Chain A
Amino acid sequence: GQQLNQSPQSMFIQEGEDVSMNCTSSSIFNTWLWYKQDPGEGPVLLIALYKAGELTSNGRLTAQFGITRKDSFLNISASIPSDVGIYFCAGQLNSGYSTLTFGKGTMLLVSP
């Protein structure tokens, strides 16, 4: 099945550093979402973006919906050890009925 192109595949950083990851698609999406998944758990929604060009923050997290509607990025500022996990982007054509298309994920490791 289709998956979005998500990069980098993994990151190993020092606590306090900023992190940036992005997601691209060959198709247009009307909604972009970013999820975090901890081991043995389901994905948890971090940020949802609904308009092209939209920039949204949730605490230390900031995400943007690309102008072309084919990409999105997620920034994490001042990383802390509990940021460790796998981050997934997901695109959706329409709300509610429409399915989510996920990227392969970015594994983030944070060294104290």
Chain B
Amino acid sequence: ETGVTQSPTHLIKTRGQQVTLRCSSQSGHNTVSWYQQALGQGPQFIFQYYREEENGRGNFPPRFSGLQFPNYSSELNVNALELDDSALYLCASGTATNTEAFFGQGTRLTVV
């Protein structure tokens, strides 16, 4: 039990639609990162937020966007969904001074 919760756990969307995934960070954590994990692969970094601002981004297009709220919860938004966006989306929370990041259980997104 990491204290990081994600919702929903599963989601099916149609190509071209938009989706919002949510993450509630562990108490005391002020950074949140989002990762995409395709089947059979390791997680790939999407972006990270600290104090409500994006402070790092991986190789993902602008249609992947996010928000971090004052209570350190976070959202991942994906516009114009493509079939290849089907994956497990993980959020991880931590602190700016500590390496150790704690992952939620993920949201399984299927785009049809």
Mark A residues whose CB is within 8 Å of B: 1, 3-4, 6, 31, 33, 35, 40-45, 48, 50, 88, 90, 92, 95-105
Contact = CB atoms under 8 A, between A and B. Distances in A.
A100 B43 contact: yes
Contacts, number: 80
Nearest to A86: B42
B102 A45 contact: yes
Contacts of A6: 42
Contacts of B99: 31, 33, 48, 50, 92, 95-96
B6 to A, nearest CB: 8
A44 B2 contact: yes
B50 A105 contact: no
A1 B2 contact: no
A96 B94 contact: yes
Contacts of B50: 97
A31 B103 CA distance: 18
Contact of B58 (A33, A42, A99): A99
Given A50-B99, A98-B56, 14 more contacts: A31-B99, A40-B106, A41-B106, A42-B90, A88-B43, A96-B96, A97-B31, A97-B50, A99-B48, A100-B45, A101-B45, A102-B43, A104-B40, A105-B42
Interface in B43-61: 43-45, 48, 50, 55-56, 58-59
B100 interface: yes
Contacts of A95: 97-99
B58 A96 contact: no
Interface in B89-110: 90, 92, 94-106, 108
Contact of A102 (B4, B40, B44, B55): B44
